Structure 1
Amino acid sequence: MKTKDLVIIAMFTALIAVLGLLPAINLGIGVPFTFQNLGYILAGCLLGSKRGGLSVLLFVILVALGLPLLSGGHGGFGLFFGPTGGYILSFPLVAYLIGLLTERQFHQMSVWQIFLINGLIGALLCNLIGGIFMAFNLHMPILKALKTVIVFIPGDLVKGLIAAILAVRLRNIPSIKRYLNTL
C-alpha cells in the first residue's frame, strides 16, 4: 500500500472522529442518532472497499482501545457489549460493501444509484445488524428490537443521500479525480 493511501485512510478515520463531535440525539431507546455514519458511508463511496473498509476499521480499533471518538466522547472495549455494539462492529463491513458496490462503476454512477447502495447497505443493513445485536444485549425479542430501530432509517437515508451527493461532487475535483482513478 502506498503512502498516499495510508494518508487518505488516516484522514477518513479522522473525519469520522470529527463527525463524533457533533452532538448525538438521544431517542430514548439506548442507541443515539449520530452523524458518524455519514463518514463511514462516504469512506466506502470515495475510497472503495479496501481503503474505505480499512479507514473505518482503524476508527473502530481506536474506539476499542478507549479513545473517546464516538459521539458524546465515548470509547472503550465495553461499548462492543452494549446496545450500540452491533452498530459499531457493522461500520467497517458497511463501508467495505458500499465500496465494493460502487468502486467499479463509480465514475458513471448517478447520485441516485449511489444513494440506492448507501440506503440499502448504510441504512438498512447497518440497522439490521445493530438491531439484532441490540436484541441480544438487551434480552429482547429480535422483532421488537428491529421495530425499535426503524426510527433510525429515515435519518440514515438522508445521510446516505448527503454522502451520495458529496461523493458525486467531490469526484469531479481534479486532485480527487486523479486519486480516484488510481483505485
Structure 2
Amino acid sequence: MKTKDLTQIALMTALIIVLGMFPGIPVLLIPVPIVLQNFGIMLAGILLGGKKGTFSVLIFMLLVMMGLPFLSGFQGGMAVFIGPTAGYLFAWLFTPMLIALINNLISKYTHWKNNFGSLLIATIFTSIIFTYVLAILWLSWQSHISILNAFYANFLFIPGDILKAVIAVFLAQRLNKIIK
C-alpha cells in the first residue's frame, strides 16, 4: 500500500471514531440507539472503495474489540459483539465492500457510470437492506423477540438512514472532485 492509501484509511477510521462521540438517540422499542457512525461506514465504502474502506472499518472494529470506547455511548470491548447491536457491527464490516461491488455492477450493466444514482442505490441497498437483515436476525435471536417485532423496531431507523445515505453520496462526490 502507498502512503496515500494508508493516510486515507487512517483518516476514515478517525472519522468513524469521531462520529461515535456523538451520543446515540435511544429508541423506546429496542436497546439500539440511532447513531451517526453508520454515516462514516457509508463514506468509507463510497470514498475509499471496497478494499480500503473495508480495511478502515476492520481497524475500527479491532480497536473496539481491544476495549477502546469508540462506539456511540463510549462503548467498547468484546461484549458489544454479542450484545443487541452486534448484527449492525457485523454488517458494517462488509458494507464498504458491498457498496463498491453493487456500484460496479450497476455501472457495468446500465448507463449509470459511478454517478449519484448508482452510488445511492448501492449505499441504500447495502446500508439499509443488507445491514437490517443481519441486524434484525441478530436482534431477534439475542433479545428473544420475534423477527417481526425486530423488523418493526428497525423500521424506525429507515428514514434517517436514507437521509444519511443521500448526504454521504452527495458529500463523497464533492470530496472526490477535491481529492482528484
SS at match of 2:95: helix
- Matched residue pairs, number? 175
> Aligned pair in 2 of structure 1 residues 129, 96: CA closer, same or farther (>3 Å)?
same
Counterpart contact for 2:100–2:122, Cα < 8 Å: no
Counterpart contact for 1:124–1:153, Cα < 8 Å: no
Question: Which structure 1 residue ranges, 5 or more long, are not aligned?
Answer: 178-183
What TM-score do you get using the length of structure 1 for normalisation? 0.90
Per-residue CA deviation, residues 81-133 of structure 1 (Å, 9 max, x unaligned), is: 1100111111110121112233685x943323211111111122111111111
Q: Name 1:181's counterpart in structure 2.
A: none
Question: Which structure 2 residue ranges, 5 or more long, are not aligned?
Answer: none
Q: Name 1:48's counterpart in structure 2.
A: 49
Aligned mates of 2:64, 2:31 — CA distance in 1: 18
Counterpart pick for 2:152 among 144, 147, 154: 147
Question: Is 2:175 aligned against 1:170?
Answer: yes
Q: Name 2:143's counterpart in structure 1.
A: 138
Question: Is 2:43 aligned against 1:38?
Answer: no
> Aligned pair in 2 of structure 1 residues 18, 103: CA closer, same or farther (>3 Å)?
farther
What TM-score do you get using the length of structure 2 for normalisation? 0.91
Question: Is 2:114 aligned against 1:109?
Answer: yes
* Aligned-pair identity (%): 42
Counterpart contact for 1:131–1:145, Cα < 8 Å: yes
SS at match of 2:153: helix
Counterpart pick for 2:128 among 123, 129, 143: 123
Aligned mates of 1:56, 1:37 — CA distance in 2: 11
